[in-house]
Amino acid sequence: KLSDRLATVAKYIPEGSSFADIGSDHAYLPCHVVQSGKAVFAIAGEVVEGPFQSARKQVQMEGLTDKIEVRKGNGLEVIQPGEVDCITIAGMGGALISQILDEGKSKLDSVKRLVLQPNISAISIRTWLLDHNWTLVEEEILEEDGKIYEVLVAEKGNAFKAYNKNKMDEGLLMGPYLIQKQSEAFLKKWSNEMENWKRILDQLDKANETIENQQKKQELLDKIKMVEETLKQ
Ligand code: SAM
């Protein structure tokens, strides 16, 4: 059985698709999605030897070698142009996920949907998507084993569609769909973040009054104000 986190990623892979799971590690996600019949073909990409081998073993053990190819390589370089219509990248930081997308831009022509699950810094991904004209079509936030995860789903075109024009900063930081839903996990995530920021503010208050510290404090105060106002809506 997949974790709730990976099951949420799986949910957004279109029926009948061929997809690449980049940074697949044990290849649980492609094995499960191909086994269930939802996807017809998958590529499991891994850049590190250990996880690459565990992906190969898992695919062999499940008897899926005709439908899942495990390939070793950095990011999207394991994909040939036109091979897949969906890409999943899960369990990494948002900055790394954005970097992988950016370096692999030329492989995205045939790709209709991205399903991305950053552990931190979803803002990096939302910013990349906006800059490259991918539109967010859905977002989820969930808590599992005391950690909070976000899943972002994007398709080509109309990048600004998901956002309120007057609330771009809020949308990029917190997620336009997640802001609307204000789920329990969402409220918990942002109250945790604010506690963190307030702790840092306290420390800055005790430190020397340098210009740099003042700037940091102002940035934190602005962020706290923005998040507090967004949570009140
Ligand atoms: N996707 C799985 C999941 O969500 O459970 C595994 C997540 S694991 C924490 C991250 C994996 O990404 C590691 O196995 C790591 O080797 C791989 N990885 C990191 N950077 C990568 C890159 N540039 N290209 C391919 N794989 C990468």
- pLDDT tens digits, one per residue of 16-37: 999 999 999 999 999 999 999 9
- d(CA 44, CA 5) in angstroms, rounded, equals 18
- d(CA 101, CA 132) in angstroms, rounded, equals 10
Regarding an ipTM greater than 0.90, the answer is yes
Q: What is the mean pLDDT of residues 199-225?
A: 94
On average, the pLDDT of the chain sits at 97
Provide CB contacts within 8 A for 87, sequence distance 6+: 19, 20, 21, 22, 76, 79, 108, 111, 113, 114, 115
Which runs of E-coded beta strand occur in the chain? 17-22, 39-46, 68-72, 86-92, 113-118, 134-144, 147-156
Q: How far is the CA of 27 from the centre of ligand 1 (A)?
A: 10
Judge if the beta carbon of residue 30 lies within 6 A of ligand 1.
no
Judge if the beta carbon of residue 171 lies within 6 A of ligand 1.
no
User: Hey, what are 207's tokens?
Assistant: 């430190």
Residue ID of nearest Cα to ligand 1 atom 26:
23
User: Hey, what are 45's tokens?
Assistant: 């990409």
Judge if the beta carbon of residue 79 lies within 6 A of ligand 1.
no
Q: What is the mean pLDDT of residues 85-90?
A: 98
- Assign 3-state DSSP to the chain and report helix, strand, coil percentages, each to 5: 50, 25, 25
Reported CATH class of domain 4-162: alpha beta
- Per-residue pLDDT band for 77 (boundaries 50, 70, 90) equals very high
Letter string b/e over residues 135-151, b meaning 16 or more CB atoms within 10 A of that residue's CB: bbbebbbbbeeeebbbb
Whether the pLDDT of residue 182 is over 90: the answer is yes
CB atoms within 10 A of CB 18: 19
pLDDT of residue 181: 97
Judge if the beta carbon of residue 100 lies within 6 A of ligand 1.
yes
Q: Which amino acid is at 148?
A: I
158 backbone φψ class: left, alpha, beta (φ>0; ψ -120 to 50): left
Residue appearing with tokens 């490259």: 132
Q: What is the mean pLDDT of residues 111-140?
A: 98
Whether the pLDDT of residue 232 is over 90: the answer is no
Judge if the beta carbon of residue 51 lies within 6 A of ligand 1.
yes
pLDDT of residue 21: 99
Q: What is the pLDDT of residues 149-174, one digit of tens each?
A: 999 999 999 999 999 999 999 999 99
Whether the pLDDT of residue 111 is over 80: the answer is yes
Residue ID of nearest Cα to ligand 1 atom 11:
23
pLDDT of residue 208: 86
Ligand 1 atom nearest the C-alpha of 91 is: 4
Whether the pLDDT of residue 233 is over 90: the answer is no
CB atoms within 10 A of CB 122: 26
Would you list the domain boundaries of the chain? 4-162, 185-232
Q: What is the mean pLDDT of residues 76-101?
A: 98
